[in-house]
Chains A and B, each alone.
Chain A
Amino acid sequence: MIVAAQEAGAVTAPTVPLWLLIVVPLVGSAVLLLAGRRSDRWGHLLATAVCGATFVMGLVLLSQLLGLGGEDRRLGQQVYEWIPVGDLQVDFGLLLDPLSVCFVLLITGVGTLVHVYSIGYMDHDEDRRRFFAYLNLFIAAMLLLVLADSYLLLYVGWEGVGLASMLLIGFWGHVPEYATAAKKAFVVNRVGDVGLGLAVMAMFATIGAVGFDEVRAAAGQMSSGTVTAICLLLLLAAAGKSAQFPLHVWLPDAMAGPTPASALIHAATMVTAGVYLVARSSALFDLSPAARTTAMWMGVITILIGAVIACAQDDLKKVLAYSTISQIGYMMLGVGIGKAGYALGIFHLLTHGFFKALMFLGAGSVMHGLHNETDMRRMGNLRKHMKLTWLTFTAGWLAIIGFPLTAGFFSKDQILETSFLEGHFVLWALALLGAGLTAFYMSRLYFMTFWGSERFGSDVHPHESPAVMTVPLAILAVLSLVGGAALNWKAEGQLAHFLEPVFGSPEAHHDGALTPIQLTIITLLVVAAGAGLAFLRYARQPVPVTAPVAVLPTVTWARKKLYFDTIYESVVMRPGQYLARTLVFVDGRGVDGAVNGAAALVGGSSGRLRRIQTGFVRSYALGMLGGAVVLVAALVLVRF
């Protein structure tokens, strides 16, 4: 075993045991699942209290972390020897550093708000208790993922969130399409998980350890080919979990789950685990320019795919899902830039966590008021009926399109700016196009839902959601408006500065042809163009209730999700099904046939043979006599 890196700062014992963060929600989940219907009345309150408690613990730990100086901001704890097998010594060790504390607070903070919101949203569901049990399970798994101090332990959390995600997507599994969506998410995630598994094995094979510190310390000794291979495998894992091209197809279908689960898992936290993985492996990515380039291109392609498809979808949640895919593309672009970008990717991840959770919860509020309608063509003018939802959604909309001084303005703009200043002009131009498209489709969604004429039926009476749902919306709206500025306030308070002990300080080279101010103005012009176009098209002109048929081919492509599902179905799914059917046939007719055939042969011949046993004593006697004669004859023949 390689000695832990000395360059990383000293590790301090935490004031609150780190394992408590994981165990408390896990116990909450177990209690709710085991208590069954008995906990129907208080289950949701327990789950919310548990989640709130983890948030408080997170705050206590943050204050302890801030009390330490720079490099020493690391709280660690070895819980027990997990896998002591020969050369492989893995401890169940937890680590809280500036990077993971950001995630802990995002997960528990947004998680608590989503829990509170779900009390109202799931009020009429018989299985509300089970929903809260899964939410708590997710919180536990996600905290394990970000608190782990080795890739192997991270893998456990990685699978745990995958499980919780599948359970929540298939929460209404009695509907076949929803159950299919859950399976699809699980299977596509498996493809990425293979990458993570192989990466962990490759680390163990080359340096004999899988801890973050050990890998960081030994990164320099690995050959560049090995580093690139490991990084590409980690990127595959990130693509699966974070719904990046080419494994993005599961996320839109994941909208089958209850909307609060979509907000927490499929927008704010779990889908960003891939970005966390890349950021956590920054020491490896620093050494592999090829892997960084791959990450950036993957991000930019995903930005454009997500944005283009989102422009033509009419389902409120589907648009938000493609928007999430697209926004995670920005984060991937950010962390792919390298030293200058890791903190920006995490910054955008946090602000995106605020405003995307807000918009998903807002969408849930709209659905709540409209009897689960998700077709935006059947909405319109909801600002009259749902004032609070409309106001908070406006905050989220401004934040995501990057309106000046809102959260998205700081985070997205910095990623674009840095990609230009680092010399990736093509990527910058494409990502800028993505920003324009983002402004267009988000404004389209916003105007179609809250402005224009009322297109829902006369029997539908939209109503504002109860306070238990609107208060979390309001809190998230405030965060979406000021969160970016707060995290970007001044050099010492800046998130990038806070994360420096983890990622190292970037070497500044600002030699671009354009200054940051000019870049910001260009971005704002593109965004204004996109939003303005959407305003003219969807707020000023009437929106038809049924989608128009005579449209440009590009719109048709985008409606068909650029044919990704079609291609995967014909290339992967159908051959797989045929293979499975062939195997079932071979198993049924071949293997089972041989076994059953042998049994039938023995059974049938015994059925015939037993007729010899007639019950007539004299025929038995004849048989004995015959046998005796044969024996004697044989003896005589042998004798002579």
Chain B
Amino acid sequence: MSPAYYLFLSAALFSIGAAGVLLRRNAIVVFMCVELMLNAVNLTLVTFSRMRGTLDGQIMAFFVMVVAAAEVVVGLAIIVTIFRTRQSASVDDANLLKW
């Protein structure tokens, strides 16, 4: 199988994620789209690692996963707290930090 397919898939996943982040209002969905973009990148890293026959890319992917896991913990906590205080998970409602 040509590695190009993996790269096309990765590009498609990344685009879906980016579009979700930009277009959706629900914080949970936005958050999942961010994860999607991260994993699209992971797929790219692993693909290139395979192509070049080294392990660098795969190690990098592990790093990304660890960071993503930590981020999920913090991010979900923030989202839950915001929801508790203003009864909404819309990212457009949390706009106090401006000007």
Chain A residues with a Cβ under 8 A of chain B:
610-611, 613-618, 621-622, 625
Contact = CB atoms under 8 A, between A and B. Distances in A.
A607 to B, nearest CB: 10
B77 to A, nearest CB: 17
Interface stretch (B5-13, B55-63, B68-76, B88-96): B88-96
Nearest to A625: B18
Contacts of A618: 21-23, 25, 30, 91-92
Contacts of B96: 615
Q: Is the interface of A mostly helix, strand, loop or mixed?
A: helix
A617 B98 contact: no
15 contacts: A610-B99, A611-B99, A613-B98, A614-B95, A615-B95, A615-B97, A616-B91, A616-B92, A617-B30, A617-B91, A617-B92, A617-B95, A618-B91, A618-B92, A625-B22
A75 to B, nearest CB: 81
B92 A613 contact: no
Contacts of A614: 95, 98
Nearest to B94: A617
Contacts of B98: 613-615
A412 to B, nearest CB: 87
A104 B21 CA distance: 96
Nearest to B33: A621
Contacts of B91: 616-618
Contact of A622 (B22, B92, B97, B99): B22
A432 B21 CA distance: 110
Interface in B1-48: 18, 21-23, 25, 30
A618 to B, nearest CB: 6
Contacts of B23: 618
B22 to A, nearest CB: 6
Q: Considering residues B23, B96, B99, which has the most beta carbons from chain A within 10 angstroms of its beta carbon?
A: B99
Contacts of A617: 30, 91-92, 94-95
B95 A621 contact: no
A112 to B, nearest CB: 76
Contacts of B25: 618
Nearest to B91: A617
A611 B99 CA distance: 6
Given A613-B98, A616-B91, A618-B92, 10 more contacts: A615-B94, A615-B95, A615-B99, A616-B92, A617-B30, A617-B94, A617-B95, A618-B21, A618-B22, A618-B30
A614 B94 CA distance: 11
A617 B23 CA distance: 11
A615 B91 CA distance: 10
A621 B21 CA distance: 7
B86 to A, nearest CB: 14
A416 to B, nearest CB: 90
Contact of A616 (B18, B21, B95, B99): B95
